[in-house]
């Protein structure tokens, strides 16, 4: 997969050179192409922004350098603009994007983009209901979430399958040595070696974590018969602990 990023601050992207994503690039599993769209400005001092029509604070990014930078790309693939008003990024989008050959992200800065820039993109995407100074951190988050799903990026192929959001539930609690830390014990069942029971316990715990922390995730879910029983037990367990 090759990912293009249009940004005024290519030097911000060093986190993608480290750890699993960095190794993935060295191994040729994916490639990052950073394009500074300031290089495509034809104005004095390579300006890329101007004051807003109608007045108001801040500077607005102009369409010309962004359009020229896009046109210079060999393969754009899906073009994604980062903006707080976009639809909220999630794991499902990461899964869809991870199947693409090419992706192109556009990072804003200052007050944001001239409205006509949005027409150059296929999707406008936000990483949450808060405002950052630029699209670089959102883009890095989305690239990380997408690229880690590519084959061979995570050491253990299973680790992407059994974790939060991948199956519509949050992850179950995980433990490692020691089995007893200052009196805080790892649940006995995990030490039992009974894989059937462990799988069932994990499913129950995933459902419980989701019910407690993200009940909205259960709203559209077709619960299996087993999950309905589990949920009843979870509610009873919580009611018990409150009494
Ligand atoms: N004036 C704009 C905010 C601009 S913030 C508004 O009120 O909506 C500057 C740039 O940071 C944006 O163009 C966008 O690229 C990026 N950005 C800020 N917050 C973001 C978020 N939550 N998700 C994605 N991109 C964001």
Q: What's the rounded Cα separation, in Å, for the pair 178 and 5?
A: 44
How many A from CA of 58 to the centre of ligand 1?
13
* Beta strand ranges found along 93-224 (DSSP E): 102-106, 123-126, 180-181, 184-185
> Which has more confidence, 163 or 116?
116
For residue 126, the CA-to-ligand 1 centroid distance in Å is 8
- For residue 242, what pLDDT is reported? 92
Among the atoms of ligand 1, which is closest to the Cα of residue 112? 13
Each residue of 6-57: pLDDT tens digit? 999 999 999 999 999 999 999 999 999 999 999 999 999 999 999 999 999 9
By DSSP bridging, strand 180-181 and strand 184-185 are antiparallel
Report how far ligand 1's centroid is from the alpha carbon of 108 (Å).
7
Predicted pLDDT at 160: 67
* Domain extents in the chain: 2-147, 164-242
Compute CA 163 distance to the chain's CA centroid, rounded to the nearest angstrom: 14
Q: How far apart are CA 208 and CA 80, in angstroms?
A: 35
Asked if residue 119 belongs to a known ligand binding site, the reply is: no
The mean per-residue pLDDT over the stretch 216-236 comes to 96
Mean pLDDT, all residues of the chain: 96
* CATH fold of the domain at 2-147: Alpha/beta knot (3.40.1280)
SS3 of 182, please? coil
* Selection from 106, 117, 105, 11 nearest residue 60 by Cα: 117
Residue 62 near residue 38 (C-beta atoms within 8 A): no
**pLDDT given at position 25:** 97
Q: What is the pLDDT of residue 1?
A: 98
Closest by Cα among 68, 80, 77, 70 to 30: 77
- If phi > 0 it is left, if psi is from -120 to 50 it is alpha, else beta; for residue 181 that is beta
2-147 and 164-242: identical CATH topology: no
Topology of the domain covering 164-242: 1.10.1270
Indicate the helix (H) or strand (E) that contains 34.
Answer: strand 31-36
Output the residue whose Cα is nearest ligand 1's atom 20.
84
**Residue-wise pLDDT tens digits, 73-88:** 999 999 999 999 999 9
């Amino acid at each position: 997969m090759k990912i293009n990023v249009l940004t005024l601050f290519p030097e911000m992207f060093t986190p993608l050179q480290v750890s699993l994503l960095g190794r993935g690039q060295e191994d040729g599993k994916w490639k990052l192409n950073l394009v500074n769209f300031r290089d495509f400005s034809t104005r004095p001092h390579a300006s890329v922004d101007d004051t807003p029509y109608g007045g108001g604070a801040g500077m607005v990014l102009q369409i010309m350098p962004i359009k020229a930078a896009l046109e210079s790309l060999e393969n754009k693939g899906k073009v994604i603009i980062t903006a707080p008003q976009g639809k909220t990024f999630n794991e499902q989008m990461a899964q869809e994007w991870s199947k693409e050959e090419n992706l192109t992200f556009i990072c804003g800065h200052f007050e944001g983009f001239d409205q006509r820039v949005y027409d150059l993109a296929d999707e406008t995407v936000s990483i949450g209901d808060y405002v950052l100074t630029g699209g670089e951190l959102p883009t890095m988050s989305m690239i990380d979430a997408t690229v880690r799903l590519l084959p061979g990026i995570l050491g253990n192929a299973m680790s992407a399958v059994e974790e939060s959001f991948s199956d519509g539930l949050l992850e179950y609690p995980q433990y490692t040595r020691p089995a007893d830390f200052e009196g805080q014990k790892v649940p006995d069942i995990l030490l039992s070696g009974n894989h059937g029971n462990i799988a069932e316990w994990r499913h129950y715990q995933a459902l419980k974590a989701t019910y407690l922390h993200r009940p909205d995730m259960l709203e559209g879910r077709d619960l299996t018969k087993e999950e309905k029983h589990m949920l009843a037990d979870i509610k009873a367990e919580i009611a018990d602990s409150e009494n």
